[in-house]
Amino acid sequence: MSILGTRVVRTEDPRLLTAGGTYVDDLRLPELARAARVTFVRSPIAHALITGIDACAARAAPGVVAVFTAADLDDLPPPPPDDDGGGGGGEAAPLPLGGPWSEPLLAIDRVRFVGEPVAMVITDDQYQGEDAAELVSVDYEPLQPVVGTDAALAGASLVFPAAATNVAVTSGAPADATAFDGCEVVVQATIANQRLAPVPMEARAAAAHWADGKLTVWSSTQNAQISRFILAGALGLDPGSIRVVAPDVGGGFGAKIGVDRDALLVAWAARRTGRALRWAETRTENQLAMTHGRAQRQVIKIGGTRDGRILAYRLEVVQDTGAYPRMGGFLPFLTSLMATGAYDIGTVETAFRVVVTNTTPISAYRGAGRPEATAAIERAVDLFAAEIGMDPAQLRRINLVPPDKFPFSSPCGAVYDTGAYAQALDKVLAGAGYQDLRAEQARRRERGDPVQLGIGLASYVEITAGDAAGGETARLVVHGDGTVTVYTGSSAHGQGHHTAWAMLVEAELGIEMAKVTVVHGDTDLIPLGVGTYASRSLQLGGVAVQKAAIDVKDQARRVAADMLEASEADLELDTERGAWQVRGDPESSRTWAEVAGHAGAGGLAADVNYTDGQPTFPFGAHLAVAEVDIETGKARLLRHVTVDDAGTVVSPVLAEGQRHGGIAQGAAQALLEEMVYDADGNPVTGTLVDYAIITAAELPSFELLQSETPATINPLGVKGIGEAGTIGAAPAVQNAVIDAVSHLGVRHIDMPVTPARVWAAIDEARQSR
């Protein structure tokens, strides 16, 4: 029996549980033995001109090696050119915009968000760095801050005067006046998908060392190879002279894709000072200066018939991309691509604008554009259900893409590969006991219980490995002692690649997992690779490992045939014993070690760069049960039941772990978390005291139901699972809380559904009755 699909515990864990991981700040390498510490001086003001920097006192402070400002960055290549034709208006761009939108490494003459690096202080130890950074005196002349999408669109103050607009990207057609003709009911709403902080438990960290013309950078990143590419471009170096190592990485969630300006500066300063350098930011710096996610204002319009057929949908997005348009154009592009969700809707329009503001830049965060799409359509569907007085489960069932329509070409341009959407919905309804829950809800309403019950649904489809064309690499070597090393271009930061890749090798070659070593995140060993994001690892990196194993198996068959003086066609691999034999003759057995030993100079090794050329579309349904105290507005998540179908499951343990974490982050968005700025652009939730990161006490145990609808585009039949939980959970929990108070006349409450917002919504509904 294959090991795939069985409950294997992780190979990573004994080390993490006894010695702890080796994160960047834990590295105790000889190259870093005398490393100095980097501390950044960051802007305390959202929008200002810099009129002077005096670092004299800091330079004279104990332990100071150097203090650098933008003026010292005199040996860097010029910033990238304007690639969108100038002045905004370009199409979706996955890379940072150049030209007038360029992001400097250190602020030059103006600061654009609280937390922007203005100067860097290098000291012998960390405590000295904190002291010396306080002594750097920066003169600011405050400018009118641009906070929020309305202010950005009004344009009274410009974040980039040279761009002459705060709108960096515009996409989509103007509304067609006839789109909703024929609809008996049309509902429209303006809703917020609030700004979130990713909060990986390990904040950003880097170390750098220059020796003999070679730069080594250890970075807490989701992709060493992309980091090397960015470093080479930013520092004007040949990629061959750079080694990037991603050691253990304490979570990423999209915010550690590539390498940020802070770590680029650490690398630059290591060369300039000739000292090995270390940098590990504080949590407060992380909350302000690592990218945030989401931050969309959405206008949703949905129309259809009174008997529940949805005919038309329009989604208009204003994406707040913060102070620099890094992934600015890309996130709302994905939102638009997935706008209609799991529904078969005839007429769809999408449009978006991306605006800059004086806040922390926005980039990928678990789901990256797709949770925003799902939140919008799932709210729209519930609003429509409320308007026509139909059970939201029934409305969904009527409009979900039916099974006979796959592959389904959505009007937004996506091709959903495989799916069983209504089946997923019916499973969660049955698993949760939907009718009983509705009956309990009715009883509480009937008796006027101060604690009301709400049931929230979300049906979703999402896109994983959206950049599948980029592929992923694997190199597999069988050594003479019968052990295996797998070099993967994918990059683990908690997902369990080392376990999953070893399972794939054992399944294919019959070499037990304990003999398989997985190596990732070192560009000297793995020059080519893409890394981990967009839930791409298994369907690209995992399949690459399987392909490499198959290639090695073919090589071994030839070698074993030679050893046994038999024809290749007569040979078989007994994967139970991990041995080659002439078919039906176990006596003729040759072990992997023997075959590898016989293979000669090249040994048994295969290099694969795999792509299936297209993304996959995982789907599912979530059902949340929430209690709301209508006297205080306090909501509590009682149950969360899900189907998350990501095709064939290789490791149930790892897949469930991804779902659990995703659900928690989605529930956190619905219930608690929000990066808040005041009118002056000061972050109000800049520490973990103020930012309400969800804890164990605010969550129930989750009820996961199984469903596997294989993908057809890759041989494993797999889809991505990393982001699905987040995408489904946020709207289900939000809908549950709104459902709990819907009988009081409440139709919508923006996320997070805090007690204050829930109470105000109840109060407003009462007033208007």
Partner 1 sequence: MKVSLTANGSQVAAEVADRTLLVHFLRDEAGLSATNVGCDTSSCGACTVLLNGRSVKSCTVLAAQADGCDVVTVEGLAADGDELHPVQRAFRAEHALQCGFCTPGMVMATVSLLAENPAPTEDEVRAALEGNLCRCTGYHNIVRAVLAAAAERSLR
Site of interaction with partner 1 (CB under 8 A): 9-10, 12-14, 16-23, 25-26, 28, 126-127, 199-203, 248-251, 253, 280, 282-284, 493-496, 653-654, 656-657, 660-665, 687-689, 693, 695-697, 699, 701-702, 725
> Between residues 232 and 664, which has the closer beta carbon with respect to partner 1?
664
CB of 58 or CB of 199, closer to partner 1: 199
Nearer to partner 1, 35 or 412 (CB): 35
Edge-first strand listing for the sheet containing 635-645:
451-461, 619-629, 635-645, 703-705
In terms of CB distance, is 137 or 706 closer to partner 1?
706
Min dist. Cβ of residue 149 to partner 1 (A) = 28
617 three-state secondary structure: coil
Distance from C-alpha of 557 to C-alpha of 604, rounded to nearest angstrom: 11
CB of 661 to partner 1, least distance (A): 5
Of the pair 19, 177, the CB lying nearest partner 1 is at 19
Residue 160 neighbours by CB under 8 Å, 6+ apart = 100, 101, 166, 356
Q: Which is nearer to partner 1, 132 or 232 (CB)?
A: 132
Query: Would you state the structure tokens that stand for residue 218, as one six-digit string?
Result: 């250890």
Determine contact, residues 659/618, Cβ cutoff 8 Å.
Answer: no
| Least spacing, CB of residue 205 vs partner 1, in Å | 10
CB closer to partner 1, 626 vs 664? 664
Q: Give me the least distance between CB of 577 and partner 1, in Å please.
A: 26
DSSP secondary structure letters along 546-612: HHHHHHHHHHHHHHHHHHHT--GGGEEEETTTTEEEETTEEEEEEEHHHHHHHS-TT-EEEEEEE--
> Considering beta carbons, is residue 196 or 560 the nearer one to partner 1?
196
Judged by beta carbon, residue 280 or residue 761, the one nearer partner 1 is 280
Residue pair 503/650 in contact (Cβ under 8 Å)? The answer is: yes
- Kindly state the DSSP code that residue 308 receives in the 8-state scheme: S
Nearest residue to 431 via CA among 423, 442, 439, 441: 423
Task: List the Cα angle 275/277/282 in 5-degree steps.
Answer: 155
Task: Quote the CA–CA distance of 615 and 536 in Å, as a whole number.
Answer: 9
For residues 270 and 38, give the distance between their C-alpha atoms in angstroms, rounded to a whole number: 10
At its nearest, how many Å lie between partner 1 and the CB of residue 280?
A: 8
Nearest CB to partner 1, comparing residues 593 and 650: 650
> For residues 131 and 572, which CB has a smaller minimum distance to partner 1 in the complex?
131
Q: How far is the CB of 703 from partner 1 (least distance, A)?
A: 10
Closest separation between CB of residue 473 and partner 1, Å? Answer: 23
By C-beta, is 381 or 635 nearer to partner 1? Answer: 635
CB atoms within 10 A of CB 85: 10
Q: Are 642 and 728 in contact (CB under 8 A)?
A: yes
Closest CA to 47 of 588, 679, 601: 679
Q: Please state, in angstroms and rounded to a whole number, the distance separating the CA atoms of residues 679 and 538.
A: 44
| Rounded least distance, CB 359 to partner 1, Å | 21
Cα distances from 401 to residues 384, 406, 415, in angstroms, run 18, 8, 12
Structure tokens at 589: 């057995």
How far apart CA 394 and CA 399 sit, in angstroms, is 9
**Beta strand pairing call for 205-211 and 214-219:** antiparallel
Select 25 or 417, whichever has its Cβ closest to partner 1. Answer: 25
**What are the Cα distances from residue 253, in Å, to 198, 423, 491, 493, 536?**
6, 30, 12, 9, 13
Would you say 724 or 741 has its CB closer to partner 1? 724
| Cα Dmax for the chain | 90
Give the helix/strand (H/E) hosting 379.
helix 370-388
The CB-of-17 to partner 1 minimum distance in angstroms stands at 4
Angle, CA 251 vertex, CA 246 and CA 253 arms, to 5°: 110
Whole-number minimum distance, CB 241 to partner 1, in Å? Answer: 30
**Using CA atoms, how far apart are residues 372 and 125, in angstroms rounded to an integer?**
43
CB of 195 to partner 1, least distance (A): 17
Nearer CB in complex with partner 1: 147/654: 654
The residue (of 321 and 537) whose beta carbon lies closer to partner 1 is: 537
98 C-beta neighbours (distance < 10 Å), count: 17
Query: What minimum distance in Å lies between the beta carbon of 686 and partner 1?
Result: 10
CB of 478 to partner 1, least distance (A): 27
| Min separation Cβ 46 and partner 1, Å | 21
To the nearest whole angstrom, how small is the minimum distance from the Cβ of residue 200 to partner 1?
A: 6
CB atoms within 10 A of CB 583: 10
Whether residue 220 contacts residue 249, with contact meaning beta carbons closer than 8 Å, is answered with yes
Closer by beta carbon to partner 1, 12 or else 84: 12
Closer CB to partner 1, residue 287 or residue 611?
A: 287
CB of 50 to partner 1, least distance (A): 26
Min. distance of Cβ 27 from partner 1 in angstroms? Answer: 9
Residue type, 537: S
Least Å distance, CB 126 to partner 1, is 8
Secondary structure of 401-445 in HEC code, one letter for each residue: CCHHHCCEECCCCCEECCCCHHHHHHHHHHHHCHHHHHHHHHHHH
The helix/strand/coil state of 470 is helix
**How far apart, in whole angstroms, are the C-alpha atoms of residue 618 and residue 720?**
7
Nearest Cα residue to 350 out of 171, 511, 548: 171
What is the rounded (10 degree) CA torsion for 428, 433, 435, 437? -110
